[in-house]
Amino acid sequence: MSLPLRLLHALVPTALAVAIVAPVLPPAYFGPIPGAVAKALLQISIKQTWGMYAPDPQRAQTYMELEALYDDGTTAMLAETADVEHGWGTTWAWRKTRMDIWKFYANFHPERRNDHRTWYLRSVCVREARTGHVPRKITMHHVKRRFTPPAKVAAGAPGLGAPDRRLITVAYCNTSPAREMIEADRRLHPELYPANPEVSEDVNPEVSPDG
């Protein structure tokens, strides 16, 4: 191996070691050097923090609660509400089906638009249409229980705080996207429809935050 190539092989790991270690050296002993190295690395989009080893952990357990309103004025709690009633143990940690994960992401960012939530609720319209009863609208709350700090749990406090129930959005099953999804599903799976579901032709002018 030639001398330039050997030098290159030595310089590359040395540079990586400097990039990793130098920015976190204590300034009390190394003066402005750590800050200068960190600033230089930012120029090539390298930022070393402990966050990459300890990302923001989950601080609460959250489920969605769905209530359907039908054309005749009756209401019903939908299947998702079972999580609110029975899912506060270790269920979520060990039962992560595709639908569980989708529901988890649909609960993200309750204060702003979330496309996962929009399409999940439209899929609920399709699922309910298979029963022969299409909801006029679906009201979504999410119910959150924060994790109790370990010291308080050790002192005898319950592992989860009191439920915090919050209105998130209202989805209408008579909007064009939901109606098209129902019709497409009925064409593909006619055997799943015991009766032709009746979907209201008029679309409620009220628009939910999630569209």
The Cα–Cα gap between 161 and 157 comes to: 9
Is 30 inside any structural domain?
yes
Is 77 in the same domain as 118? Answer: yes
User: In the prediction, which pLDDT does 206 show?
Assistant: 42
Judged by DSSP in three states, 103 sits in: helix
Tell me which residue has tokens 């060990």.
Answer: 94
Is 37 inside any structural domain?
yes
Is 201 inside any structural domain?
no
User: In the prediction, which pLDDT does 174 show?
Assistant: 94
Is 120 in the same domain as 178? Answer: yes
Please report, rounded to a whole number, the percentage of residues in the chain having pLDDT higher than 70. 85
Is 46 in the same domain as 124? Answer: no
Dump pLDDT digits (tens) for 50-74: 666 666 677 888 899 999 999 999 9
Query: Which residue range(s) make up the domain with 15?
Result: 3-52
Please give the DSSP secondary-structure letter assigned to residue 203.
Answer: P
Q: In what order do the strands lie in the sheet with 75-77?
A: 75-77, 60-69, 137-146, 164-172
| Count of domains forming the chain | 2
Is 210 inside any structural domain?
no
* 144 conformational bin, left if phi > 0, alpha if psi -120 to 50, beta if neither: beta
